[in-house]
Amino acid sequence: MGAYLLRRLGYMLVTLLVIATATFFLMKMLPGTPFNNDRLNDQQLANMNAKYGLDQPVAIQYLKYMSNLVQGDLGDSYKYVGRSVTEVISERIGPSALIGFQALIVGTLVGLALGVTSALRHNSLLDYTSVTLAVLGMSIPSFIFAALLQYYVGLKWGLLPPALWKGYEYTILPTLALSVTVIATVARFIRTEMLDVINQDYVMTAQAKGLNQRKVIIRHVLRNALIPVVTMLGPLAVNIMTGTLVIEKIFSVPGLGEQFSLSVIVNDYSVIMGITLFYSFLFIFMVFIVDILYGLLDPRINLRGGSQKG
Amino acid sequence: MKKRKSFLAFTLMAALAVTGCNFNSGESSSQSPEPNNNGGTTTEQPSSGKKVLQVFNTDEIPSLDSAHVHETVSFTVLNNTMDGLYRRDQNGQPYLAIAEKHDVSADNLVHTFTIRENAKWSDGSPVTAKDFEFSWKKVFKEAGHYSFMFETLAVKNAVAIEKGEKQPDELGVKALDDRTLEVTLENPNPLLNQLLSFPTFYPQKQEFVESKGDKYGLEYDNMLYNGPFMLTDWKHDQGWTYTKNPNYWDAGKVKLDQIDGYVVKDAPARLTLFEAGQLDRIELDSSYVDQFKDDPRFHIIETPTIYFIRFNHEHPVLKNKNIRKAISMAWDKKGLTDVILNDGSSPLNGLVPKRFATDASGKDFREFNGDLQQGSLEDAKKLWEQGLKESGVTEVKLGVNAADTDRSKKIGEYLKNQLEKNLPGLTLELKNVPSNQRLEIEKAITYDLSLGTWGPDYADPMTYIDMWVTGGSANRMKYSNPKYDELVQQAKLNTDLESRFKQMVELEKILIEEDVAIAPMYQEGLAILQKEYVKDFVYLPTAPTNNYLWVDIVK
């Protein structure tokens, strides 16, 4: 297990290095500079490029960036003059993670309930209703739900604040809007997987053995059905907790979601790199966690046998 | 079930652990809404009888360091929390602010300012002449974005310093003593007073700045303020609070106790918050204009931002003046502004927008030259045929370089539709690219037609006129007319405002009518919704536009 972990760690570092390199050079192909003010004259642009080291060859800039990165320095933002990238990310990840985490919990619980009920009452009215809901949740973009929640719950009925970020109650509407996708995804997955597992021989065996239905469902069906769900939930968790552009914008949540697209638009090189690496790290780490979880959910998956995979 | 659930919980906890350290900070920031704690209610105005204005901001403040600021949000905050030698009144006219006296030498080159005795920083210490000298030189020492403003101001040695020929310390600004500032110019500048109100020329207290190191201007308490308000809270990407500055020399004018500014990036969300009573003034998306135009809270502001078409003057067909004029004349501007845009924008038939500058008698600049590049569709078609003949072609295909914003796409499609219908043989190919790329293409002059825009740096027609001098950084189309260049130079140095005004009228005529250098499209309008209890909100045509100094809340 220890050797396996070490090897995985090595892979993670290499992956990050590749991502950093690819992003750096792709980013340099973006048109323009971080100083995209149409009022700047050539002399001034040259002075500013010189000050921030952007006048040097890209290869040199790359080496400098990487050597800083290895020392844990993500550099300073160009847009937020003087503010470090670490600061920009850490100030904004909190709200994103809070909403994402809540949406994940609400979404998984509701999704699980819907999925399980619908699998157990296969082809019943309940099943059809839940499938229809799931399909709607998947296909209607979350900003529609966001806008509806904001207008009705927030403005018309005045039950919850429609936008801004001043206290806990301000997190509820964005959480609900965000959880819709999670509910739909989880419900659909669970339903399909459970229907699949329910017809397996070992489930029949368990039932034949005279185990009560409850035990069969929980110990045999659900446990096996959970594996694909966990696979999907890992990346989904990263996605949802690092912020979503649209929901955050609609509810004025001071999160990370919009920051990334904004930094690309204004060529804020260091922030582009910082957020990309941050996302990548979380993603890789989550895949790693999911792999570990497989072992816990299904003892047949043997982590020591990792060498066969790779 | 319980035991199995713990697997799930473990997954989630692991997910949480990944972001753990930051999550806590996020939670605490979301749960400590002080100082404007509304106690979990959604009611808007604090009820203590304090006068509070609630405004939105389009983005986070990038920095409050006046040496580095370069965009609207920072300009707005600085304009309301700082004061320069001059400040602009409700009509945009400069008046003495931190300086109480302004002496000018006979040759108009040496300007001596006496700092007001009661000009104080928010910590109670006096604002001194040294604070100005320090902050001005800092712009060059730290390669700030707006160093070109010193060139516009014509401060001695500004250009040489930028070129690296002189040191920032040689800039023509000197504190003779604590209360006397001497500014030396390269040449007389009729716009000096007005320009001095611009944020780049605000003072900074050296000891304070140095004590904060590279964190100056990055938090509300890493700043000293000498203006009407001071920031007393700033939550990044979320909002900030202004409080009346008791140390402001002109504090008697300030009626508001507090301003709550929120970052709201989504236009529909602004409208929702306005309706919910959490914002007092918003800018309205054009799609809502019809719904609100009879509302007493609805206002239209004509801004001086102009939209126009740049021509590639080296294009084999576009170098023909008749072709350019035909393109400018052969489409219906009113249809664009009233139907397509529908946000208070109005057709522009010149270079300088209306309601922007007047002569001494108060007559609008626009009225002097009237509508330029005008004529019937028949005239346009004639010019077009003649132009094609002169160029020896029967059809021409032109690319249109434009940003990939909704607005630019709408305009492009409208132009394509109108021009292809009205000018036989013309094909337009719309090339919508990201804004950065649009600018790069313009700079490289690899376009045929380019949709451009310009907002004024200062309230004088020269801000539009000097764009087009040979080699100017805003020219970006290789337009060159020696007569134009020479007249611009004369007007810039002319301290006789009346003859200078006439020169500028003449310049506009040369550029638009004689040379057809560009094709003006329209002047931007801004639709506003403002609560009726908000009085004297001053929106000035040039940046920084939003002025809270005079605002009152009358309920």
Is B323 in contact with B448 (CB distance < 8 Å)?
A: no
Which residues of A34-76 form beta strands (DSSP E)?
none
* Tens of pLDDT, residues B263-307: 999 999 999 999 999 999 999 988 899 999 899 999 999 999 999
Is A94 within 8 Å of B30 when comparing Cβ atoms?
yes
Residues B378, B518, single domain; the answer is yes
Min CA distance, A257 vs chain B (Å)? Answer: 12
At B430 the three-state DSSP class reads strand
Enumerate residues 6+ apart whose C-beta is below 8 A from A299: none
Is B287 part of a structural domain of the chain? no
pLDDT band for position A235 (cuts 50, 70, 90):
confident
User: What pLDDT is stored for residue A303 in this prediction?
Assistant: 61
pLDDT band for position B41 (cuts 50, 70, 90):
very low
Q: What is the CATH number of the domain that holds B51?
A: 3.40.190.10
Residues B466, B376, single domain; the answer is yes
Q: Who among B27, B62, B162 is closest to A43 (CB)?
A: B162
Nearest chain A Cα to B68, which residue? A81
Nearest chain A Cα to B147, which residue? A44
Structure tokens belonging to residue A310: 């790779």
Give the mutation candidate from A38, A144, A156 for the B interface (greatest B CB count, under 10 A): A38
Residues B233, B346, single domain; the answer is no
Min CA distance, A77 vs chain B (Å)? Answer: 9
Residues B238, B120, single domain; the answer is no
**C-alpha neighbours within 13 Å on the C-beta side of residue B152:** 27
Enumerate residues 6+ apart whose C-beta is below 8 A from B384: B322, B323, B326, B330, B423, B424, B426
Q: What angle do CA B53, B57, B61 make, to 5 degrees?
A: 115
Min CA distance, A186 vs chain B (Å)? Answer: 12
As a whole-number percent, the residues of chain B with pLDDT over 90 amount to 83
Residues B262, B212, single domain; the answer is no
Q: What is the distance between the alpha carbons of residues B149 and B167, in angstroms, rounded to a whole number?
A: 17
Boundary residue ending a domain (B202, B219, B236): B219
Residues B429, B522, single domain; the answer is yes
For residues A243-269, average pLDDT: 88
In this predicted complex, what is the ipTM?
0.87
Residues B182, B257, single domain; the answer is no
Enumerate residues 6+ apart whose C-beta is below 8 A from B280: B53, B54, B55, B274, B530, B531, B533, B534, B553
A236 to chain B, any CB pair closer than 8 A? The answer is no
Check whether B178 has a pLDDT greater than 80: yes
Check whether B32 has a pLDDT greater than 70: no
Letter for the amino acid at A54?
A: L
Is A171 within 8 Å of B30 when comparing Cβ atoms?
yes
Cβ count near B106 (within 10 Å): 6
Is B133 in contact with B181 (CB distance < 8 Å)?
A: yes
Nearest chain A Cα to B434, which residue? A265
B278 to chain A, any CB pair closer than 8 A? The answer is yes
Check whether A309 has a pLDDT greater than 80: no
User: What pLDDT is stored for residue B416 in this prediction?
Assistant: 97
Give bridge partners of residue B364 from the DSSP assignment.
B358
A95 to chain B, any CB pair closer than 8 A? The answer is yes
Q: Who among A83, A162, A249 is closest to B273 (CB)?
A: A162
Cβ count near B486 (within 10 Å): 11
**Of A88, A85, A68, A63, residue with least CA distance to A76:** A85
Nearest chain A Cα to B44, which residue? A161
Boundary residue ending a domain (B219, B243, B267): B219
| Among B residues 182-241, those touching chain A with beta carbons less than 8 Å apart | 214-218, 235-239
Is A241 within 8 Å of B264 when comparing Cβ atoms?
no
B162 to chain A, any CB pair closer than 8 A? The answer is yes
pLDDT band for position B40 (cuts 50, 70, 90):
very low
Letter for the amino acid at B525?
A: G
Phi, psi of B37 (to 5 degrees): -75, 120
Domain that holds residue B38: 1-58+228-280+531-555
Domains of chain A: 88-266 (1.10.3720.10)
Q: What is the CATH number of the domain that holds B160?
A: 3.90.76.10
Is B447 part of a structural domain of the chain? yes
* Tens of pLDDT, residues B60-78: 999 999 999 988 999 999 9
Is A36 within 8 Å of B436 when comparing Cβ atoms?
yes
B445 to chain A, any CB pair closer than 8 A? The answer is no
Q: Who among A108, A266, A282 is closest to B18 (CB)?
A: A282
Domain count, chain B: 3
Enumerate residues 6+ apart whose C-beta is below 8 A from A84: A74, A75, A76, A77
B30 to chain A, any CB pair closer than 8 A? The answer is yes
Is B410 part of a structural domain of the chain? yes
Is A93 within 8 Å of B264 when comparing Cβ atoms?
no
Whether cis (ω within 30° of 0) applies to the bond prior to B35 is: yes
Q: What is the distance between the alpha carbons of residues B476 and B467, in angstroms, rounded to a whole number?
A: 9
Residue with tokens 């040097």: A56
B455 to chain A, any CB pair closer than 8 A? The answer is no
User: What pLDDT is stored for residue A297 in this prediction?
Assistant: 74
Is B361 part of a structural domain of the chain? yes
User: What pLDDT is stored for residue B508 in this prediction?
Assistant: 97
Locate all alpha helices (DSSP H) within A154-268, ordered by sequence: 172-198, 201-208, 213-215, 223-241, 245-250, 257-265
Q: What is the CATH number of the domain that holds B470?
A: 3.10.105.10
User: What pLDDT is stored for residue A302 in this prediction?
Assistant: 67
Phi, psi of A101 (to 5 degrees): -65, -45
Lowest-confidence segment of A89-93, B11-15, B381-385, B402-406 by average pLDDT:
B11-15
**Of A38, A271, A95, residue with least CA distance to B435:** A38
Q: Who among B8, B162, B266 is closest to A250 (CB)?
A: B266
Give the mutation candidate from A238, A252, A281 for the B interface (greatest B CB count, under 10 A): A252
Residues B520, B535, single domain; the answer is no
pLDDT band for position B457 (cuts 50, 70, 90):
confident
Residues B328, B261, single domain; the answer is no
A261 to chain B, any CB pair closer than 8 A? The answer is no
Residues B190, B246, single domain; the answer is no
Check whether B16 has a pLDDT greater than 60: no
User: What pLDDT is stored for residue B4 in this prediction?
Assistant: 43
Q: What is the distance between the alpha carbons of residues B476 and B443, in angstroms, rounded to a whole number?
A: 5
Is B107 part of a structural domain of the chain? yes
Is B237 within 8 Å of A296 when comparing Cβ atoms?
no
Enumerate residues 6+ apart whose C-beta is below 8 A from A12: A284, A285, A288
Letter for the amino acid at A249?
A: K
Lowest-confidence segment of A215-219, B61-65, B422-426 by average pLDDT:
A215-219
pLDDT band for position A310 (cuts 50, 70, 90):
very low
Is B108 in contact with B211 (CB distance < 8 Å)?
A: no
Give bridge partners of residue B103 from the DSSP assignment.
B112
Q: Name the strand (E) or helix (H) holding B111.
A: strand B110-115
Most distant pair of Cα atoms in chain B: their distance? 92
Residues B236, B215, single domain; the answer is no
* Tens of pLDDT, residues A7-45: 888 999 999 999 999 999 999 988 888 887 888 888 888
Structure tokens belonging to residue A151: 């207008």
Taking each helix axis from N to C end, the angle separating A269-297 and A257-265, rounded to the nearest 10 degrees, works out to: 140
User: What pLDDT is stored for residue B20 in this prediction?
Assistant: 34
Min CA distance, A193 vs chain B (Å)? Answer: 16
* Tens of pLDDT, residues B493-551: 898 999 999 999 999 999 999 999 999 999 999 999 999 999 999 999 998 999 999 99
For residues B228-251, average pLDDT: 96
Q: What is the distance between the alpha carbons of residues B190 and A276, in angstroms, rounded to a whole number?
A: 50
Boundary residue ending a domain (B219, B237, B261): B219
Residues B204, B132, single domain; the answer is yes
Report the mean per-residue pLDDT for chain B. 90
